[in-house]
């Protein structure tokens, strides 16, 4: 079908019953949180999304649980691509909803912890369809409290190791949550390229597999089930023969996908080829779109409508947006870990490049991952490195043979080129650049 049917529009999760006092407490918490968010914006401290949620949770610890009830929920998680995939899926569902698009709520600003999700849901309490970007640590709680209908799982990679620690433990938490949900659990849309994702999905009641053509597999050398070596056969360059992987010690292996990415096109379960023609660049975003299409299909939106909606997505939460710094016009790109940098470096089309890096909590304090990124592909470009950890990045570039200049001050670094440039940054400098460029 090409749009949500009336029956699908009317289908709701069964809301939990709360007493009048519980409802009043939630309303009071939201009012206080909204006041705090307004103060945050007036003080130019941020959008106020997180502080709204923090105040809500402090005054009503059950606020998130209450706000998840009575909605059809599609959640998106994984190390890379959560924000863009959430935007793509939300746009697809809005296209299917048409005039009823205001029935959808999403945390579009990327605030994906308990506070951020509660904040977004509290802004639209009457919206009965929710598309939620969900931090990896929050997945189990949303599955337990919200009974999502669809769950999109993208990938696992080393990210913020001081916060997330060992990624197999997180995969185990996802698997346990899906097993505990049982028949009430979500239908999972998942990347068939990721051994840890495949292993985590063994607890799901149903999985729709997507062949995403991932280029990063350095975090999946060993089997999460038995610890044996994972063997791989890469896809043909023309993608006529898909890649395979399997464990050398147990039965874990790449499942047969029903959706498939082939270069710049998406192939659906019937074999129909779709040209997404997205406004966000990169092969990895075609893969994100494939996962979003599969999820939209489960939510009742036809593929043609879904793609039409996805084509309206331009710069999700500032990613790929263009900002001006004096005489410099910069395209801003975010990469938070080696998998993200591996995907982003090939789409740096400008000769002039700025690389920005920090290591506070939001970035991850351990920057040893720099040595896993193939910076050698930047040879020949005019590179400036900046940010508090620019010295670490400079050493890595020296070993990669990449000539570059170092300017620790972010604002000054953005004026060391003129004309069009590409900027690739970890999370904290990225947010600062959005503010300096007037985008936030």
291: annotated binding-site residue? no
For the chain, what is the mean pLDDT? Answer: 90
The answer to whether 228 touches 250, Cβ cutoff 8 Å, is yes
User: Where does the pLDDT of residue 23 fall: very low under 50, low under 70, confident under 90, or very high at 90 and above?
Assistant: confident
pLDDT (0 to 100) of residue 309: 98
pLDDT in tens, 285-324: 999 999 999 999 999 999 999 999 999 999 999 999 999 9
pLDDT (0 to 100) of residue 335: 92
Per-residue b or e along 243-269, where b marks 16 or more CB atoms closer than 10 Å to that residue's CB: bebbbeeeebbbeebbbbbbeeebbbe
250: annotated binding-site residue? yes
226: annotated binding-site residue? yes
Domain residue ranges of the chain, discontinuous segments joined by +: 17-67, 69-316, 321-436
pTM of the model: 0.91
Give the span between the Cα atoms of 398 and 269, in whole angstroms: 47
Q: Which architecture characterizes domain 69-316 according to CATH?
A: 3-Layer(aba) Sandwich (3.40)
Q: Quick check: 256 pLDDT over 80? A: yes
Determine the average pLDDT of the residues in 164-181. Answer: 85
Is 184 one of the annotated active-site residues of the chain?
A: no
Indicate which residue of 126, 366, 392, 409 is catalytic. 366
pLDDT (0 to 100) of residue 361: 82
Among the four given CATH numbers 3.90.226.10, 3.40.30.10, 3.90.1150.10, 3.90.190.20, the one describing domain 321-436 = 3.90.190.20
Q: Quick check: 236 pLDDT over 90? A: no
Residues in the chain: 440
The answer to whether 143 touches 151, Cβ cutoff 8 Å, is yes
**Is 411 strand, coil or helix?**
helix
Give the up-direction half-sphere exposure of residue 346: CA atoms within 13 A in the CB hemisphere. Answer: 11
pLDDT in tens, 99-134: 999 999 999 888 899 999 999 999 998 999 999 999
């Amino acid at each position: 079908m090409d749009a949500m049917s009336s029956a699908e529009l009317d289908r709701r999760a069964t809301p939990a019953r709360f007493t009048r006092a519980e409802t009043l407490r939630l309303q009071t918490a939201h009012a206080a949180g909204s006041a705090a968010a307004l103060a945050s914006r007036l003080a130019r401290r941020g959008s106020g999304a997180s502080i709204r949620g923090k105040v809500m949770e402090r005054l009503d610890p059950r606020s998130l649980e209450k706000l998840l009830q009575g909605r059809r929920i599609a959640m998106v998680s994984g190390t890379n691509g959560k924000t863009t995939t959430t935007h793509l899926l939300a746009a697809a569902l809005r296209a299917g909803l048409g005039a009823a698009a205001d029935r959808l709520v999403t945390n579009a600003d990327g605030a994906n912890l308990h506070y951020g999700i509660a904040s977004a849901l509290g802004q639209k309490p009457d919206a009965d369809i929710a598309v939620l970007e969900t931090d990896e640590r929050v997945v189990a709680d949303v599955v337990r409290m919200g009974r999502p209908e669809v769950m999109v799982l993208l990938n696992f990679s080393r990210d913020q190791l001081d916060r997330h620690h060992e990624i197999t433990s997180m995969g185990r938490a996802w698997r346990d949550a899906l097993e505990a949900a049982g028949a009430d659990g979500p239908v999972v849309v998942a990347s068939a390229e990721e051994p840890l994702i495949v292993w985590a999905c063994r607890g799901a009641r149903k999985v729709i597999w997507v062949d995403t053509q991932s280029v990063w597999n350095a975090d999946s050398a060993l089997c999460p089930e038995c610890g044996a070596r994972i063997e791989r056969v890469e896809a043909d360059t023309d993608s006529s023969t898909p890649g395979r992987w399997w464990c050398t010690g147990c039965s874990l292996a790449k499942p047969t996908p029903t959706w498939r990415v082939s270069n710049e096109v998406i192939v659906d379960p019937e074999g129909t080829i779709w040209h997404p023609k997205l406004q966000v660049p990169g092969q990895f975003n075609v893969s994100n779109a494939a996962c979003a299409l599969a999820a939209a299909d489960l939510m009742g939106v036809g593929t043609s409508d879904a793609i039409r909606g996805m084509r309206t997505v331009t710069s999700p939460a500032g990613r790929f947006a263009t900002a001006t710094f004096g005489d410099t016009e910069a395209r801003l790109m975010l990469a938070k870990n080696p998998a993200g940098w591996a995907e982003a470096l090939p789409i740096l089309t400008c000769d002039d490049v700025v690389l920005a890096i920090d290591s506070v909590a939001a970035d991850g304090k351990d920057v040893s991952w720099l040595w896993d990124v193939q910076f050698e592909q930047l040879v020949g470009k005019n590179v400036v490195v900046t940010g508090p950890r620019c010295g670490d990045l400079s050493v890595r570039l020296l070993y990669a043979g990449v000539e570059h200049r170092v300017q620790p001050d972010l604002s000054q670094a953005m004026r060391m080129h003129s004309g069009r440039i590409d900027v690739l940054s970890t999370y904290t400098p990225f947010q600062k650049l959005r503010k300096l460029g007037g985008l936030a």
